[in-house]
Amino acid sequence: MTANALPGHARAVWLMVAVTFMWSIAGVVTRHLDQARSFEVTFWRSFFMLLSLCVILPVLQGRALLANLRRGGRAVWISGVCWSVMFTAFMIAILLIPVASVLVTMAIGPLLTALLARVFIGHHIAPRTWCAIALAGAGIGWMYGSGISGLSVVGVLVALCVPVAAAVNWVVVQHSQRQGHAVDLVPAVLLGAALSALATLPLAWPFQATARDLSLLALLGLVQLAIPCVLVVYCARVLKAPEIALLGLLEVIFGILLAWVGAGERPAPAVLMGGALVIGALVFNELLGWKEQQ
């Protein structure tokens, strides 16, 4: 059976699996850089993502891209800032602490979103989600509490910026939609890439990246960010939110395995145990939510 003959749902599932795999390559790729470090890595990845999206999105959306950016108002700019924080903090974090620790920390994003949505826009939190939040919190506490002496405290705090920014982003989008102003995430992501590149450019100077570094960072900008950004828009039109949340957990599994096999970065036992609690909490919450919807 060809890809075009697959039902829309099945095709979207496989595309989402491909998206999570592409997201997960950042850790192993950065471990093979020669000279580029810290803010320079972030700048080049964001720059190549911006360059890629400037080619891809006008082909797909045409003039509608600029129109959506103008219509988005304040919400799209706040969303863009959140995306820029996520792009920047993620790359800096995986250069400071193990990839597995960053990925597990990022996985608590959906639960933080539910918590912030309850506080700021009054969303009801089901008992199952409260249980999941408590279990995920215990997992994060176990992971960092057992090995915090060997980790960079700055790296841990930077890694926590990623799920916090993601939660703020989605709460802003949900609030805007409740007010009757839909936010198109595609121009918001484009704006986020531009803001990340601009913010890190002064800190990235003087450039030290080799030609090999630039090729690897261009790979991340295109394959790890730009292409998945476009594909996930299609997936979101076909898949339900619990399906996307569950499939998105594959990024954690793929990322840890790739860093382990491709860079020899074996996760500590505390990370595996804490990560299992976090992933288990998310799976428990999303499966029960899916069952309730059905």
Residue 137 has a pLDDT of 84
Residue 6 has a pLDDT of 43
pTM above 0.95, yes or no: no
Q: Which two tokens stand for residue 192?
A: 């986020």
* pLDDT at residue 42 greater than cutoff 90: yes
Contact yes or no for 233/183 (Cβ under 8 A): no
Residue range 139-165: average pLDDT? 81
Binned at pLDDT 50, 70 and 90, residue 2 comes out as very low
Contact yes or no for 113/199 (Cβ under 8 A): no
Residue with tokens 């891809």: 56
- Which residues are within 8 A (CB) of 47 and not within 5 positions of it... i.e. 6 or more apart? 197, 221
Residue 148 has a pLDDT of 56
Binned at pLDDT 50, 70 and 90, residue 68 comes out as low
Residue 278 has a pLDDT of 86
Residues composing the chain:
294
* 97: helix, strand or coil: coil
Residue range 61-76: average pLDDT? 73
Residue 182 has a pLDDT of 66
Q: Which two tokens stand for residue 176?
A: 């805007």
Q: Tell me which of 250 and 44 has the higher pLDDT.
A: 44
Convert the pLDDT of each residue in 203-229 to its tens digit.
998 899 999 999 999 999 999 999 998
Residue range 256-270: average pLDDT? 89
Residue 270 has a pLDDT of 82
Contact yes or no for 167/115 (Cβ under 8 A): yes
Q: Tell me which of 233 and 210 has the higher pLDDT.
A: 210
User: What residue segments make up the domains of the chain, in order of their start?
Assistant: 3-293
Residue range 148-168: average pLDDT? 85
Please give the Cα distance from 237 to 8 (Å, whole number): 10
Residue 286 has a pLDDT of 79
Residue 274 has a pLDDT of 85
Q: Which two tokens stand for residue 223?
A: 């394959």
* DSSP for residue 148: G
3-state secondary structure string, 179-222?
CCCCCCHHHHHHHHHHHHHHHHHHHHCCCCCCHHHHHHHHHHHH
For the ranges 6-15, 147-156, 228-237, the one whose mean pLDDT is highest: 228-237
Please give the Cα distance from 240 to 251 (Å, whole number): 18
Residue 33 has a pLDDT of 93
Residue 27 has a pLDDT of 92
Residue 228 has a pLDDT of 92
Residue 118 has a pLDDT of 85
For the ranges 70-74, 167-171, 242-246, 289-293, the one whose mean pLDDT is highest: 167-171
Convert the pLDDT of each residue in 98-129 to its tens digit.
898 899 888 888 888 888 888 888 778 788 88
